[in-house]
Amino acid sequence: MVVASPTPIPNEKIQAVELPVIDLSSKRSEAPKLIVKACEEYGFFMVINHGVPQDIIERMEEESFSFFAKPVSEKQRAGPANPFGYGCKNIGFKGDTGEVEYLLLNTNPLSISQRSKTISNDPEKFSSAVSSYIEAVRELACEILELMAEGLWITDTSVLSRLITDVDSDSLLRLNHYPPLKDCRDRDTSPSSLQPHHHQQQQHHQNCNSNGNSNKIGFGEHCDPQILTLLRSNDVGGLQISIEDGVWIPVPPDPTAFCVNVGDVLQAMTNGRFVSVRHRALTNSCKSRLSMAYFAAPPLHAWITSPPEMATPHRPSLYRPFTWAEYKKAMYSLRLGDNRLELFRAR
Residues recognised as catalytic: 289
Of residues 153-182, those binding ligand GA4 (CB under 6 A): 174
The neighbour count for residue 121, using CB atoms within 10 Å, is 10
Residue 248 φ then ψ, to 5°? -115, 135
Q: Is the peptide bond before 180 cis (omega within 30 degrees of 0)?
A: no
* CA distance to 32, 157, 225, 276, 299, per residue, from 315 (Å): 22, 21, 23, 19, 27
The identity of residue 187, as a single letter, is R
Which of 138, 222, 278, 289 contacts ligand GA4 by CB under 6 A?
222
DSSP 97-125: EEEEEEEEEE--HHHHHHHHHHH-SSHHH
Which of 281, 286, 331, 341 contacts ligand GA4 by CB under 6 A?
331
Q: Does residue 218 interact with ligand GA4 by CB under 6 A? A: no
Q: Does residue 332 interact with ligand GA4 by CB under 6 A? A: yes
Q: What SS3 class is residue 36?
A: helix
Kindly tell me which of 216 and 278 has the beta carbon lying closer to ligand GA4. Answer: 278
Least Cβ distance, residue 1 to ligand GA4 (angstroms): 35
Q: Does residue 225 interact with ligand GA4 by CB under 6 A? A: yes
Of 29-37, 91-99, 114-122, 202-210: span binding ligand GA4 (CB under 6 A): 91-99
Element (H, E) at 135: helix 123-151
# binding residues, ligand GA4 (CB under 6 A)? 14
Q: Which residue is nearest to ligand GA4 (CB)?
A: 92
Of residues 43-82, those binding ligand GA4 (CB under 6 A): none
Exposed/middle/buried for residue 96 (C-beta within 10 Å: 0-12, 13-18, 19+): middle
Q: Does residue 32 interact with ligand GA4 by CB under 6 A? A: no
Least Cβ distance, residue 263 to ligand GA4 (angstroms): 8
The identity of residue 166, as a single letter, is D
Q: What SS3 class is residue 202?
A: helix
What is the contact mask toward ligand GA4 in residues 258 to 277, using x (rule: CB under 6 A)? Answer: --------------------
Q: What SS3 class is residue 236?
A: coil
Least Cβ distance, residue 297 to ligand GA4 (angstroms): 8
Kindly tell me which of 39 and 152 has the beta carbon lying closer to ligand GA4. Answer: 39
8 Å CB contact between 277 and 243: yes
Kindly tell me which of 157 and 233 has the beta carbon lying closer to ligand GA4. Answer: 233
Rounded to whole angstroms, the Cα distance separating 28 from 344 reads 35
Which of 92, 180, 218, 237 contacts ligand GA4 by CB under 6 A?
92
Least Cβ distance, residue 188 to ligand GA4 (angstroms): 28
Least Cβ distance, residue 318 to ligand GA4 (angstroms): 21
Length of the chain: 347
Of 89-97, 113-121, 193-201, 242-250: span binding ligand GA4 (CB under 6 A): 89-97
DSSP 199-250: HHGGGTTTT--TTSEEEEEEEEEE---SSEEEEEE-S---EEEEEETTEEEE
Of 107-115, 155-163, 180-188, 220-228: span binding ligand GA4 (CB under 6 A): 220-228
Which of 40, 41, 96, 150 contacts ligand GA4 by CB under 6 A?
96
Of 112-120, 134-142, 238-246, 330-338: span binding ligand GA4 (CB under 6 A): 330-338
- Give the CB-side neighbour count of residue 248, counting CA atoms within 13 A: 21
8 Å CB contact between 295 and 174: yes
Interface residues toward ligand GA4, by CB under 6 A: 83, 91-92, 94, 96, 104, 174, 222, 224-225, 295, 331-332, 336
